[in-house]
Structure 1
Amino acid sequence: MGEHIIKLPDVGEGVAEAELVEWHVKVGDLVREDTVLAAVMTDKATVEIPSPVDGEILWLGAEIGDTVAIGSPIVRLKVAGEGNVKPESSPPAETINAEPPAKLATPKPEAAPPSPKADEAKAKPAPSPASPKATGRLSVSGAPRAEGEKPLASPAIRLRAREAGIDLRQVAGSGPAGRISHEDIDAFLARGPQVAKISGLARNDSIEDIKVIGLRRKIAEKMTIAKSRIPHITYVEEIDVTALEDLRAALNKEKRADRPKLTLLPFLMRAMVKAIADQPNLNALFDDEAGIIHQHGGVHIGIAAQTPSGLVVPVVKHAEARDLWECAAEVNRLAEAAKSGTATRDELSGSTITITSLGAMGGVATTPVINHPEVAIIGVNKMMVRPVWDGTQFMPRKMMNLSSSFDHRVIDGWDAAVFVQRIKTLLETPALIFVD
């Protein structure tokens, strides 16, 4: 038998370290070749680490949340054959699963010779458990009787308990057969906040410490940077999407089999592309340390997506070169990859402007946080049918707010308003989206 050390492999794209976000094994587990041992995260992409050999886990070299350098040992296995470790080598002293040293046996003291009094005590029978002298006052910690067992108490005791809101089932009785006395009530009340009320309501003073790791830590870091370094201005505008929704329904009804179903997002993406053509300064990244605005020709739209692991932003690259259905197909593909955790690092980076939407949960208005170092984000709020005055009468219209935030260091309020108003015009007259 030998030992085999597995090191954190190069996960690509010049990454020097990764955060350990999940162990799939523990010490003592038997694993096969290609068994997934752990998952690490780089930026927002999660990479699984498989075992290259069969063996038994002897040692794990990091804790969840640790940042591990590429090439560092992370797993040690016992394997058939020689393995890749010399016999004299040993694992690092500090590991998360190192077995504690065996406790030394404490020698027992020699027994003292028995005294006459001890012999006498042995000869006396033990008092009966039912005897009050044997039980004394019962402990009042926790429920003293089994489920369904009726507590023994006088009418006076029951009245006092009822007035005090005490559940007698939780009171230990010190009398014969566990009968509850006034002294038992006093002892129970002395416990203070632990008193159990008849109503079943009880205080909960527990505190759970949850370590912020993985994607949640990445999100926290990103939001901290965005809010601490970018002075946001948020502009909210109401959009009448009645005509857009009619067009969308008609296109979906007549769509070809090779085309995806259209949602609102592809229309908004195409409207943003047209608006950016008029205001290219909105499609930019601001390097505030160098004082340089990187204005991009390609429109790479990030789509903020909620996944079981947290918020990620897959990117539709070159939206300016995609028609309505191509935008829809790419959004669907990226959303599925993000939810399944298979999105690559390239698919989760490179955006120049972002859309954020909570769908039906979108609320009336929001204040989106800019995806640093971008300078703009477009927030989609939920669609609602509202009465709108058309000059002669109120008509039911499908209305939706856009809540958009801009980096006020480089985008003036006027420019932000012009940009949103251009998008509003295109969405309210959707035929213009198709006009070159």
Structure 2
Amino acid sequence: MWGGVRGGRAAVDRGAAAAAAPRPEGERPLASPAARLRAKEAGVDLRQVRGSGPAGRILHEDIDAFLARGPQLAKVSGLARNEAVEDIKIIGLRRKIAEKMALAKSRIPHITYVEEIDVTALEDLRAALNKEKRSGVERPKLTLLPFLMRAMVKAIADHPKLNALFDDEAGIVHQHGGVHIGIAAQTPSGLVVPVVRHAEARDIWDCAAEVFRLAEAARSGTATRDELSGSTITITSLGAMGGVATTPVINHPEVAILGVNKMMVRPVWDGSQFMPRKMMNLSSSFDHRVIDGWDAAVFIQRIKALLETPALIFVD
């Protein structure tokens, strides 16, 4: 009886030894030639087996315990070292993106301004407009982007210096009258920026239709060079993965970029109680060489006011 308990305890000890952490790298396992041959034939790496013999020598019983329990334990832990290194050459569109990002960060001193916006009323209006049907009129589905584009157009009318390209070598800011909004879009080939030209001349549904058309062209790889260039200010968004805040990199040589973050329902104090509101942050970066922090803040506050009272977007 006692001997059976001791024998059972020895088996448990060997099983625990087999389940223990792998032998340190570079340490040669101790085992007899017969044990090594048996391990080789069984496909067992002796470095993964703890020996229960003198000085940690691996016995046949240890190999038995490893074969009986090792695979299951390895499957449970799922832990294994991976020493693989894959070299990926940066070529084509990815290389152009890398070069443009490096240029923007090396030459433009960024200032990033983050503001919280209550888009509850805007979302209610958007849902109502999408439900509205007009006989003989086919309208595109409205997302947040067309409203933001129209708000930007109105804000730029008051702050035209934000709609500009900075030629830093010549020391000239090219301030544009036409608002050409780049929409940063992720495609299977990488990041591209199709451009909605003359947003100031488009209503909200026209903006939505053009964004949809350009997004489809970008995803399918059929967008032309003209459709992917010529922006004067850019919007970037990660959609549902937009995070709480970002630090967008300016699309050189522009002087401003607006980043749309994730929309979330948050409790907001209205003066007497907390109310659930749909909130979203705008994370926007500006070229601090030509745009002061005050001007950047005033510009974003104007956009905030328009988005929080969306009826104003439709007032000329």
The TM-score, its normalising length taken from structure 2, stands at 0.79
Partner of 2:266: 386
- What is the root-mean-square deviation in Å for CA atoms of aligned residues? 2.9
Partner of 2:287: 407
Secondary structure of the residue aligned to 1:252 is: helix
Secondary structure of the residue aligned to 2:165 is: strand
Deviation at 1:273, TM superposition (A): 0.3
Change (3 A) 1:286 1:158: same
Deviation at 1:177, TM superposition (A): 12
Change (3 A) 1:296 1:391: same
After superposition, residues 123-272 of structure 1 pair within 5 angstroms as: 162=18, 174-175=33-34, 178-179=37-38, 188-189=46-47, 199-200=73-74, 201-256=79-134, 257-272=137-152
Secondary structure of the residue aligned to 2:112 is: strand
CA distance in 2, matches of 1:390, 1:299: 36
Structure of greater Rg: 1
Contact 1:173 1:180 in 2 (8 A): no
1:345 and 2:225 matched: yes
Deviation at 1:188, TM superposition (A): 3.4
Partner of 2:156: 276
**Equivalent residue for 2:200, pick from 308, 316, 320:** 320
1:336 and 2:228 matched: no
Higher strand share: 1
Higher helix share: 2
Secondary structure of the residue aligned to 2:205 is: helix
Secondary structure of the residue aligned to 2:157 is: helix
CA distance in 1, matches of 2:106, 2:83: 34
> Where does structure 2 lack aligned partners over 5 or more consecutive residues?
1-10, 24-29, 50-65
Change (3 A) 1:382 1:214: same
Deviation at 1:266, TM superposition (A): 0.3
Secondary structure of the residue aligned to 1:175 is: helix
Deviation at 1:176, TM superposition (A): 9.6
Secondary structure of the residue aligned to 2:83 is: coil
Aligned length: 272
Contact 1:305 1:313 in 2 (8 A): yes
> Where does structure 1 lack aligned partners over 5 or more consecutive residues?
1-154
Contact 2:22 2:48 in 1 (8 A): no
Contact 1:172 1:178 in 2 (8 A): no
Contact 2:116 2:282 in 1 (8 A): yes
Change (3 A) 1:365 1:255: farther
Contact 1:172 1:180 in 2 (8 A): no
Contact 1:174 1:180 in 2 (8 A): no
1:287 and 2:133 matched: no
Contact 2:21 2:48 in 1 (8 A): no
CA distance in 1, matches of 2:205, 2:220: 23
Deviation at 1:159, TM superposition (A): 5.6
The TM-score, its normalising length taken from structure 1, stands at 0.58
Return the structure number with greater relative CO, CA threshold 8 A, min gap 6. 2
**Equivalent residue for 2:179, pick from 299, 303, 307:** 299
Deviation at 1:269, TM superposition (A): 0.2
